[in-house]
Amino acid sequence: MSFPGKLRILLEPFTKLPEEGIDETIADFVKRHIGDEALRELVSPMVSGVFAGDPYSLSLKSSFPVMAELEKEGNGSLVKAMVKRISKGAIGKRQRDKRGGPLGPGGTLTSFKEGIEYLTHILSERLGARIITNTEVQRIEKMQREDHPYTIYFKNKKGEGKFDADVVILATPAYITSKLIEPVDPAISKVLKETSYPPLVVACLGYKRSLISHPLDGFGFLIPHEEKMNILGCLWDSSMYESRAPDGYVLLRVMIGGARKPESAFLKDDELIMAARNDLKIILGIDVVPDFVRIYRHEKAIPQYTAGHSERMKIIEDSLKHHPGLFLTGNSYYGIGINDCVREAFKTSEKVFEYCSWYKPYGYA
């Protein structure tokens, strides 16, 4: 960053609170606090890495609620809020507990040796016949009856079928949930359709370690949009996790597309690889053909919490009150990460148990 850009960051303690009722974008929030240059060079790349999103359209309070809380605590200033937390010992305690805090996440990156899909495989195995897999739910209808008020219509290799349910939990993406829930509540369906999902391509490239001069000591890198590069960033998978590459090799994961360059996600495979290789040559000095290539295309990748997201969530919450036994969860609502989904899953399960405890026909406890 330039010297004036750094000086601008030092003015953060003098930031004032915004007007009440404004759902401020991430870009506007950052410019108020630390300036245009910090937005371009620091925050914008991070937003691309987390959401594959556009900071000029994403809602700050919905995408990064902790920052909104800090601003209120500091009467406008994030620095003042963090100083208060440090003085109370809150930050130190969180970091010692490895749970993270306002200065950043705590602990270390963790995954399964086999990858995160191991979790769903083992859950399916343990649940056995109690869970039905490889089955497409086609629609949900709400019936005018006290017992089993919901009917689920589905299709699989055995054909089409249906079953009645007391409780329905939808953890599907917003665009899927919107279709499923339309017969039950068109208003919720309409709101869910407003959640956009930009396309994203993840290209995995494997190289012989001896051919890579860069130490790859770290997490990877993200690129400011203004740099006009082909890729959003690159994660050094084999540096982050064990068993991501055979001995003597490295695995790099490149992201292309997102909300600010959606057209890049539709390049042909050979064009994608060439674009990625060109950027890796400039940034890491890698000028060899990869030994391993895998391309994963996500036509609808990550939900975008654009301005007005919190108001849309309020409409959904109010509408669900008219449909006892129907619950929505997943990364379309209150956080896109795995940790967010786990937290919301616990909250949803508590709501389900509370509902079932007074559901008299069955007397669930």
Q: Are residues 332 and 187 in the same domain?
A: yes
**Residue 363 within a domain:** no
Q: CA-based diameter of the chain, in Å? A: 69
| Chain segment 169-219, per-residue pLDDT in tens | 999 999 999 999 999 999 999 999 999 999 999 999 999 999 999 999 999
Burial 116-151 (b: 16+ CB within 10 A, else e): eeeeeeeeeeeeeeeeeeeeebeebebeeeeeebbb
Domain match, 28 and 59 both:
yes
- Is 100's pLDDT higher than 90? no
Residues 281, 135, single domain; the answer is no
- According to DSSP H, which parts of the chain are helical? 3-10, 26-34, 36-38, 44-51, 60-63, 65-73, 78-88, 90-96, 117-127, 174-181, 186-192, 237-240, 269-284, 309-320, 338-357
Domain end residue (candidates: 298, 322, 345): 298
Residues 311, 185, single domain; the answer is yes
For residue 364, being part of any structural domain is answered with no
Tell me the residue range of the domain where 53 lies: 3-96
Q: What is the pLDDT of residue 19?
A: 87
Separation between Cα atoms, residue 6 and residue 32, nearest integer Å: 14
Q: Say if residue 183 is in the same domain as residue 208.
A: no
CA distances 22 to 17, 19, 161, 175, 309, Å, are 11, 6, 47, 27, 12
Specify if 107 maps to a domain. Answer: no
d(CA 52, CA 39): 15
Please tell me the least confidently modeled range out of 109-118, 179-188, 230-239. Answer: 109-118
Same domain, 166 and 205: no
Helix/strand/coil for 327: strand
Q: Is 112 contained in some domain? A: no
Terminal CA-CA length for the chain? 59
Task: Single out the residue in 267, 298, 329 at which a domain terminates.
Answer: 298
Where residue 341 sits, what CATH number does that domain have?
A: 3.50.50.60
205 and 268, same domain (yes or no): yes
Does pLDDT of 91 surpass 80?
Answer: no
Of 174, 215, 176, which Cα lies nearest the Cα of 302?
174
DSSP for 14-42, please give it. GPPPPPTT---BHHHHHHHHH-HHHIIII
Pairing of strands 292-298, 220-222: unpaired
pLDDT of residue 107: 61
Looking at the fold, whether 181 and 220 belong to one and the same domain comes out as no
Q: Is residue 128 part of a domain?
A: yes
Q: Do the Cβ atoms of 153 and 138 come closer than 8 Å?
A: yes
- Let me know whether 266 and 343 are in one domain: no
The model's pTM is 0.88
Q: Which comes out higher in pLDDT, residue 169 or 134?
A: 169
The enclosing domain of 36 has a CATH number of 1.10.3110.10
Q: Are 205 and 135 members of one domain?
A: no
pLDDT band at 81; cut points 50, 70, 90: very high
Is 125 part of any domain?
Answer: yes
Q: Kindly report which listed range (42-56, 100-114, 152-166, 285-299) carries the lowest average pLDDT score.
A: 100-114
Which runs of E-coded beta strand occur in 166-301?
168-170, 200-208, 220-222, 233-235, 249-257, 292-298
Mean pLDDT check: name the lowest of 2-16, 77-91, 157-171, 177-191: 77-91
Q: How many domains, the chain?
A: 3
What's 290's domain CATH number? 3.90.660.20
CB 363 within 8 A of CB 170: no
pLDDT of residue 106: 54
Considering the domain boundaries, does residue 104 fall inside one? Answer: no
Q: Give the Cβ contact number of residue 192 at 10 Å.
A: 26
15 phi and psi, to 5 degrees?
Answer: -70, 140
Instruction: Give the pLDDT confidence score for residue 361 in this predicted structure.
Output: 52
Which range has the worst mean pLDDT, 3-17, 74-88, 100-114, 245-259? Answer: 100-114
Rounded distance, CA 11 to CA 358, Å?
Answer: 55
User: Is 327 inside any structural domain?
Assistant: yes
Q: Are residues 281 and 233 in the same domain?
A: yes
Q: Are residues 204 and 176 in the same domain?
A: no
